[in-house]
Amino acid sequence: MITTRIHKAVLPVLLIAGLAACGNDDTGRDANPLLIAAKTATGAMSGLRGDKTENAPAAPRTPEQMAAEALRVNPAPLILVNFESLGRSQVMAMTGQNGSMRTYMAPSKEALIMRDGMLIGTRGFGNDLSVVEPGTEPLIRADRSGSAQRVMRYYSGDGLERPLSFNCTTSPGPKPGVILESCEGHGARFQNSFMPQSGQLPVSRQWAGPKLGYMTIQTLRP
């Protein structure tokens, strides 16, 4: 049943949210590594006309409600994304695939490019992440400790790519099944967190850059 499937899908996110206080501090404003994945989606305020009762804003939908509705109406592969700096959650559907690379898009045309759960790029947000070259990816998928570089290339105002290289280490997280990727460079520090399963990354919290910040990404339908 849909309700059972959604409950199982959202549970890992609830577990990650419960680990928020266990992460290390970094220099970002909302930088603790495991924050709010299961907060209620903010949603837009209702513009209803009529009496005072009708003018009351509609209660925002929870991520579980958003996921259930998306699974009901959209047969495509789906992810649920919580954009922490934007203060909203969004279900995104796959609109294209090239090998292991998938493009997930929202109705607003904002898009994420993913590789089996690893964030590779963003589109439509402004100052977008052109492409990520995560040298730590094999370590993360294998749930192993180690070190490697992460290169993040951003589109600048002149339309050119600007690469930023970070030195990163991977290590076990505060709870079993979580692996952390801690990165530093160019005066910034950030910490990604993943819950790898058989080489896949169905639940994660990843930093997209100083503008977009952290997002929690959960696979609803592979």
Query: What is the structure's pLDDT at 218?
Result: 96
The whole-model pTM stands at 0.76
Packing angle between helix 2-18 and helix 63-73, nearest 10 degrees? 140
Q: Are 210 and 122 in contact (CB under 8 A)?
A: no
Both tokens of 171, joined, read: 């290590």
Region 169-182 average pLDDT: 96
Q: How would residue 165 be classed by pLDDT, with cut points 50, 70 and 90?
A: very high
Both tokens of 205, joined, read: 């919290």
The 10 Å Cβ neighbour count of residue 10 is: 21
- Report phi then psi at 166, rounded to 5: -125, 140
pLDDT digit string (tens) for 87-99? 999 999 999 999 9
For the sheet containing 129-134, what is the strand order?
Answer: 118-123, 111-115, 101-105, 88-98, 78-83, 214-221, 203-207, 188-194, 179-185, 161-172, 146-155, 129-134
Q: In the chain, what are the domains?
A: 2-221 (2.40.360.10)
Q: Are 25 and 33 in contact (CB under 8 A)?
A: no
Distance, first Cα to last Cα, the chain: 17
pLDDT digit string (tens) for 190-212? 999 999 999 999 999 999 998 89
Cα 48 to Cα 37: distance, rounded to the nearest angstrom: 29
